[in-house]
Amino acid sequence: MKITIIGFGSWGIPLGILLEKNGCDVTAWDNENYVRELQKTRRNNYLPDAVVPSSIRITSDVAEASEVAEIFLIALASREITNVAPLFNFSGRIVVSASKGLEETRQIRISEYLREVCGASKVAVLTGPTHAEEVLRGIPTAIVAASEDEKTAETVQKIFSSEKFRVYTSTDVVGAELGGALKNVIALAAGASDGLGFGDNTKAALITRGIAEITRLGVAMGAKEQTFAGLSGIGDLIVTCTSNYSRNWRAGNSLAKGNSLEHVLREIGAAVEGVSTAKTALQFARAHKTEMPIVEEINHVLFDGKSPKNAVIDLMRRELKEE
């Protein structure tokens, strides 16, 4: 199939190489300056070991990228989607979102934005425990393709699946998308826990109570509870809370060591989805009258100057209750 990838950075490149190996005809779109450099070097600074095959066309021309597409794959940071996605005509074609965030301005999920604002009728979400670096190395990985339309989910499943990349289907787009976005907020807390020198007990508690918060909100927003026990829920949460590959974990770790948010974001240099998602998650929680104490404390740390240590103390001192 002919696939156009919108956003050919640290996540778009591994997915593009995977699709090319699976026999797809891949075109990649990104901004002009980056494309010019990538056409010369076929390399990305964040993935120094990856070489983009010459068979993948790289362009900054929206018309060129659009005219060949049977399927669009969006691999942009969530903050970039509102500026880029409306440039493309998605009518009649499958649009796959591989972005793990939320649309901050309208306070909606990315798939909702693609449908309501960009006119996409066939939308799928590709999400799960997937470090780009490991996908590039061909390490066995499992992921979920979620779409309200079963045939759309199955189409995405078929084009992405390989011996090293196993894709499951789901019709629970709300659950899959929220799991992929909200885990980044909990990963900030896990990184802060490690930065403070806490141990495995603390991280296990954060992961467990974190998935409880994510599940509560997800169910309140119409998701299926069992989705959060799967790859797009606890699976993605575990991998993001426990790995140095995770930019969200690294950001939380750096914050706990006394660095400002501005310094942390500058140091990491790429999108830290949990930062913008934290605000929207808290607004979702309040709108749906859902208790999310970890998310609330992360917001205090990020935006109110609260120290991570005091945030942990306040979490531990909360009213005692039944699990």
As annotated, the residues of the chain forming the CATH 3.40.50.720 domain(s) are: 2-171
Edge-first strand order for the sheet with 25-29 is 57-59, 25-29, 2-6, 71-74, 94-97, 122-127, 141-146, 165-170
Outline where DSSP puts E strands in the chain.
2-6, 25-29, 57-59, 71-74, 94-97, 102-103, 108-109, 122-127, 141-146, 165-170
Q: Are 51 and 29 in contact (CB under 8 A)?
A: no
> pLDDT (tens digit, 9 = 90+) per residue, 154-210?
999 999 999 999 999 999 999 999 999 999 999 999 999 999 999 999 999 999 999
Query: Residues with catalytic annotation?
Result: 183
191: left (phi over 0), alpha (psi -120 to 50) or beta: alpha
CA angle 182, 184, 185 (to 5 degrees): 70
> pLDDT (tens digit, 9 = 90+) per residue, 70-129?
999 999 999 999 999 999 999 999 999 999 999 988 999 999 999 999 999 999 999 999
- Gap between the terminal Cα atoms of the chain: 48
> pLDDT (tens digit, 9 = 90+) per residue, 11-65?
999 999 999 999 999 999 999 999 999 999 999 988 988 999 999 999 999 999 9
As annotated, the residues of the chain forming the CATH 1.10.1040.10 domain(s) are: 178-316
- CA quadruple 246, 249, 250, 251: dihedral, nearest 10: 120
Assess if CATH 1.10.1040.10 describes domain 178-316: yes
pLDDT of residue 49: 85
- Determine what percent of the chain is predicted with pLDDT higher than 90: 95
Task: Report how far residue 118's alpha carbon sits from residue 126's, in angstroms, rounded to the nearest whole number.
Answer: 18
pLDDT of residue 229: 98
pLDDT of residue 68: 83
For the chain, the farthest-separated pair of C-alpha atoms sits apart, in whole angstroms, at 60
Task: Report how far residue 225's alpha carbon sits from residue 221's, in angstroms, rounded to the nearest whole number.
Answer: 11
- The distance of Cα 108 from the centroid of its chain, to the nearest Å, equals 15
Task: Report how far residue 224's alpha carbon sits from residue 148's, in angstroms, rounded to the nearest whole number.
Answer: 13
Q: Are 288 and 220 in contact (CB under 8 A)?
A: yes
Decide if pLDDT at 321 tops 90. Answer: yes
Closest CA to 84 of 126, 125, 117, 107: 117
Determine the angle formed by the axes of helices 247-256 and 273-287, rounding to 10 degrees: 90
Q: Are 102 and 180 in contact (CB under 8 A)?
A: no
Count the Cβ atoms, other than its own, within 10 Å of residue 116.
12
Name the superfamily (CATH) of residues 2-171: NAD(P)-binding Rossmann-like Domain (3.40.50.720)
Q: Are 107 and 49 in contact (CB under 8 A)?
A: no
Going by pLDDT thresholds of 50, 70 and 90, the confidence category of residue 249 is very high
CB pairs under 8 A, 24+ apart, for 314-320? Answer: 318/293
Determine the angle formed by the axes of helices 150-160 and 12-21, rounding to 10 degrees: 80
Q: Are 179 and 214 in contact (CB under 8 A)?
A: yes
Going by pLDDT thresholds of 50, 70 and 90, the confidence category of residue 270 is confident
Question: Phi and psi (nearest 5°) for 290?
Answer: -115, 130
pLDDT of residue 164: 97
